[in-house]
Amino acid sequence: MKTSFLLLGLPILGWAYPGMLGVSSREEALEFLKEKREAELEERQLLSGLIGSVAQIVSDVSGLLGSVASAVNPDNKRPEPGYVFQAPKSSDSRGPCPGLNLLANYGYLPRDGHVTFDQVIEATARGFNMGADLATVLLVFTILADGDIPTQSFYLGSGPGGIGGLNRHSTAEADVSPNREDFYLGCGNNHHLSSRIFQQNVYYAATDSSKQFTLGVMSKQWAANSKFSVKNNPYLYYFPFPSIVATAAYNFYPQFFSNGTYGAGGVANYESISSIIGAQFDTKTGNFKYVPERWPAKGWYRRSTPYGAVQALTEAFTLIYPSNPISMVFPQLQGGNFDAATALCYIYQGINSITPLALAGEEQEIGAGVTWALSKLVGAGLDLTTLGCPSSTLSPNEFLYPNATQKGGPLNPPASVQSNVGNNVYGKTYFTSAPTKPKCQHSS
Ligand code: HEM
């Protein structure tokens, strides 16, 4: 009785003393409290419908794999003989990309998570049928921004000493990810599966007539995630290249994780998706534990045709992004006239706005890194001439974070963030509720 009286009294105190709520007037305090209440109701409504639906979908999906077997070529069965699942050791580097984490868990990539350009081109084609042009675009930015150019290598999670690797924010990793929290709101934890976001994703799949993680379902996921980030994350940074990776990653769910080819008899069902992204449902709590990524035990077939850069960009910006367009430094989107070749041209030109990891280097070395990256794109058939880009806009001397090593900068984050940027730790549950303010403690 005492407790409920106190709880009831708190909003009144906030109204009487607006300063307590961090606002200056009573009107603002009222608005603040109203919004808070609405957000709480919204979340409660979503979750109450959700828990039952998760139990429902778990039973609904069992047995769906059988329907795929007739539509697939046995050559596409994965893993192939000789590639065996092993959970990563705590010293192995794992991070925000479920596709690459999984390939390392089977030995398609080095199990320690330190990988090279050529290894990734080969493994992503073999394991998931990713087109070489798409893999090249992802890799050049990643190696330039998060890796080591002389050895053409990078770490799947955090690099040695917490420097570099895919976890590094706003380089290849970005906010508004399908199933990870934003870097700021997650207090640096941008790389573990978020239980509450995946609950939301399962809810959209369960309430869709397909009962699958279709492109339509993933577009609802984008709309919800981007609305949440725009509302709560004052440091939402939707920078051209990583924003493209994060948006295209929504299509990767059906296109790469389906059992069989999506759109040609394959199923993007719960059983396949949850196993590949390492989401283990706890029937008691309704939460998802993050476990090492693996292919479903009952048998899994990769897509039968390559999925390349043009299809990835087109689907990302015509099917996913329009469900909630947010401000993005990507001129192609302003006129609503999207065309993949021009977008690729923009990506090509955008290389110069990436902060290379080798920041301590001389300007000349940085320029050399950009030259390396451009030559790789040319090698994959994506060059200025093919794409029709005006070369005049290329300048290797403009970088967005000239002071990256200063306190609070991307290479020198605050201590609370520092403790969250290491490699993935599996077997735990992360984010059982939405972090509307930075959440610096992990649940377990
Ligand atoms: C070719 C090299 C690749 C690189 C460099 C790469 C890099 C990344 C990065 C940096 C992220 C984080 C993006 C974000 O913040 O949302 C990411 C996420 C993701 N990647 Fe990859 N990736 C690669 C290949 C793949 C492949 C082959 C697949 C699928 C088979 C894949 C599926 C995904 C998905 C689904 C996410 C979103 C995870 C989530 O938030 O739920 N990636 N990847």
Express each pLDDT in 243-279 by its tens digit. 788 889 999 999 999 999 999 889 899 989 999 999 9
Ligand 1 pocket: which of 97, 213, 272, 354 to mutate (most atoms within 8 A of CB): 97
Please identify, by atom number, the ligand 1 atom nearest to the C-alpha of residue 171: 10
Residue 174 C-alpha to ligand 1 middle, in angstroms? 11
pLDDT score at 381:
80
Ligand 1 close to Cβ of residue 179 (< 6 A): yes
What is the spatial distance between Cα 120 and Cα 125, in angstroms, rounded to a whole number?
A: 8
Flag whether pLDDT at 203 surpasses 80: yes
Q: Is the pLDDT of residue 9 over 50?
A: no
pLDDT-based confidence at 188, cuts 50/70/90? confident
Q: Is the pLDDT of residue 428 over 70?
A: yes
Element (H, E) at 410: none
Residue ranges covered by each domain of the chain? 172-418
Q: What is the 3-state secondary structure (H, E, C) of 108-134?
A: CCCCCCEEEHHHHHHHHHHHHCECHHH
More confident residue, 437 or 335: 437
3-state secondary structure 44-98: HHHHHHHHHHHHHHHHHHCCCCHHHHCCCCHHHEECCCCCCCCCCCCCCCCCCCH
> Does the beta carbon of 128 sit less than 6 angstroms from any atom of ligand 1?
yes
Q: How far is the CA of 59 from the centre of ligand 1 (A)?
A: 28
Q: Find out whether the beta carbon of 164 lies less than 6 Å from any atom of ligand 1.
A: no
Instruction: Give the confidence band of 235 by pLDDT, cuts at 50, 70, 90.
Output: confident
Residue 252 Cβ inside 6 Å of ligand 1? The answer reads yes
Ligand 1 pocket, 180 CB below 6 A? yes
Q: Is 103 in the pocket of ligand 1 (CB under 6 A)?
A: no
pLDDT at 77 over 80: yes
Whether the link from the prior residue into 79 is cis, omega within 30° of 0, is yes
The overall average pLDDT reported for the chain is: 78
What tokens were used for 412? 């020198």
Q: Which of 40-49, 186-195, 352-361 has the lowest mean pLDDT?
A: 40-49
Read off the pLDDT of residues 243-253 as tens digits, 9 standing for 90 and up.
788 889 999 99
pLDDT of residue 415: 66
Q: How confident is the model at residue 67 (pLDDT cuts 50, 70, 90)?
A: very low
